[in-house]
Structure 1
Amino acid sequence: MRILAVTPISVSDEELARRQDRYDRLAPENVSVRLHPLGTGSEVPRALENDDDVAASEAAVTAWFKAVDARDADAFLPDCVLDPGVGPGAPVQARPVLGLLRLGTGFLAATGASIGAVARNKAIARELERKLASYGTGPLHEPVSVLGLALADIADDAAWSTAVERALQSLTADYVLNACSAVNLAERSSGGPVLVDPTALALQLAGLLERQRNILAGRAAG
């Protein structure tokens, strides 16, 4: 499966390369992800710090997918756990639009497990809960735990992992979603909830989908 992805905010060349490397490491053999920057225009947010930033990201990502050349892509993917441009009310695009949040939580909810989440700030936490409600997978087991971190902490593995570990001490869900697509999570040795990397999980599910698609195509050809 060839996935065309775009960042939810304006990012530097260095950050774009870091995120692309992460996709290259996490994608299974039958999935490739080509990540593009959202742009640098005034309509593109530089960070998701408030509700206006979140709305601007949704609009910019949706417009980017509408304008991009999709001939070499099987699917689109917003590089954001808030799934901008995904879900009820989103316009139909030239390719299916996969959502990290929708894929991961749909899978976990189907197992009957309880789900929690940690998010960088309150605006992201609010949008996460709104998107989940729109998907109909059921409410979170408990309110999203807000980490109170800055944009720069996304690339700071140690700072992020320390904040998440602290938050997990008070969470009781079976699985806790790390509500950021671009964070490298540290290995956990303690008990408690299972911390979920939404990007890693979604890419594994995309790989399963691709295998199933190939099986069905083979049957149709036969």
Structure 2
Amino acid sequence: MRVVAITPIHVTDEELARRQERYTRLAPAGLTVELRNLTAVSPVALDLQSDVLSSDAALIDDMCHIGQDAADFILPDCVLDPGFRQGSKEEVVGMLESVTSHLVSQGHTVGAVTRNETIGAELVRRIGEYGFADDFAGLEVLNLSFDAINDEELWHKALKVGVAKLAAKGATVVINGCSAVNVDQSQLSLEVIDPAELALKLILEQKSKVTI
């Protein structure tokens, strides 16, 4: 099964290779992921609301140019689901929508962390749009720069604090609000979900059910 993922921002060749390696490592047996760089040269980070809007529009445009024979599923490589609309094309998977729906169906109260306020505001908006507001314990903003995505030690240090606060709010599981970060589960008071990893598992499960 083939998945084409598209970055939500335009990244360097080095960063694209790092993210591709991560997807190759996370992909379950029977599924391959080809990560493509966003065609538009901007945005290069999601720091402003205008970046979020530009990312959404650019993803829609890029997805329109993916042929049906190129992929079984298309996955925007972002927890904000840029370019994804509920009830539209079945082959387009919204990472946040898919993961949150699964966690809620398992009886969880979901919390989330994001690196900045802009990403956090859009994530909360999406959670409400998807109908999961009543199952959402809240958001904690880690206040980290874009460079922290590649700094696992710095991210984990901030993550521990955020997870503890979400546990106090009643969360039973936490979504790590960045699809490009490797999650270290050590010393965390709650399970933290790597949204990219779980989304790939759910894609494979969905396809398996259809073919049975």
Coarse TM-score class (shorter-chain normalised)? over 0.9
Q: In 1, distance between residues paired with 2:85 and 2:134? A: 16
Q: Distance in 1 between matches of 2:161 and 2:135?
A: 19
User: Which structure has the bigger radius of gyration?
Assistant: 1
Aligned to 2:19: 19
Report if the CA contact (8 A) 1:116-1:143 is conserved.
yes
Report the equivalent of 1:69: 67
- Across the aligned residues of Structure 1 and Structure 2, the Cα RMSD in angstroms comes to 1.6
Distance in structure 2 (CA, Å) of the matches to 1:72 and 1:85: 18
Which residue in 1 is equivalent to 2:207?
Answer: 210
Q: Which runs of 5+ in 1 are unaligned?
A: 216-222
Equivalent position of 2:45 in the other structure: 47
For residues 40 and 56 of structure 1, do their structure 2 counterparts lie closer, same or farther at Cα, with a shift above 3 Å needed? closer
Partner secondary structure for residue 87 of structure 1: coil
Q: Indicate if the aligned counterparts of 1:132 and 1:139 stay in contact, CA closer than 8 A.
A: no
Q: Following the alignment from structure 1 to structure 2, what is the Cα–Cα distance between the partners of residues 197 and 51?
A: 24
Amino acid at match of 2:176: N
The Cα offsets for residues 71-128 of structure 1, whole Å up to 9 and x where unpaired, read as: 221111100000011124x8x55x6110110111000011221000000100100100
2:175 is matched with 177
* Cα 1:8–1:73 shift into 2, 3 Å: same
Q: Check if 1:113 corresponds to 2:114.
A: no
Shift of 1:140: 5.0
2: distance between equivalents of 1:139 and 1:4? 32
Using the size of structure 2 for normalisation, the TM-score is: 0.93
Identical-pair percentage: 40
Distance (whole Å) between structure 2 residues aligned to residue 7 and residue 32 of structure 1: 16
- Provide the rounded CA distance (Å) in 1 between the counterparts of 2:81 and 2:34: 17
1:118-156 superposed Cα distances (whole Å, 9 cap, x missing partner): 001001001001111111133453331000001111111
Q: Contact between 2:108 and 2:135, CA under 8 Å: does it hold in 1?
A: no
On the 8 A contact 1:30/1:210 being kept in 2, the answer is: no
1:129 to 124, 140, 146: 124
Distance in 1 of aligned mates of 2:15 and 2:209: 33
Gap change, CA 1:131 and 1:141, over 3 Å in 2: closer
Native 8 Å contact 2:5 2:33 kept in 1: yes
The separation in 2 between residues aligned to 1:47 and 1:87, in whole angstroms, is 22
Number of the residue aligned with 1:82: 80
Between the aligned partners of 1:119 and 1:99, the Cα distance in structure 2 is 17
Of the three residues 193, 201, 222, the one matched with 2:190 is 193
Residue 76 of structure 2 contacts residue 82 of structure 2 at CA under 8 Å; is this kept in 1?
yes
**AA in 2 matched with 1:16:** L
- When normalised by structure 1's length, the TM-score is 0.89
The alpha carbon displacement at 1:188 in A equals 1.5
Question: Does the 8 Å CA contact 1:115/1:141 hold for their aligned counterparts?
Answer: yes
- How many residues align? The count is 209
Contact 2:6–2:38 at 8 Å: present in 1 too?
yes
Q: Which residue of 1 aligns with 2:32?
A: 32
SS of structure 1 residue aligned to 2:136: coil
**Aligned CA distance change for structure 1 residues 47 and 139 (closer, same or farther; 3 Å):** farther
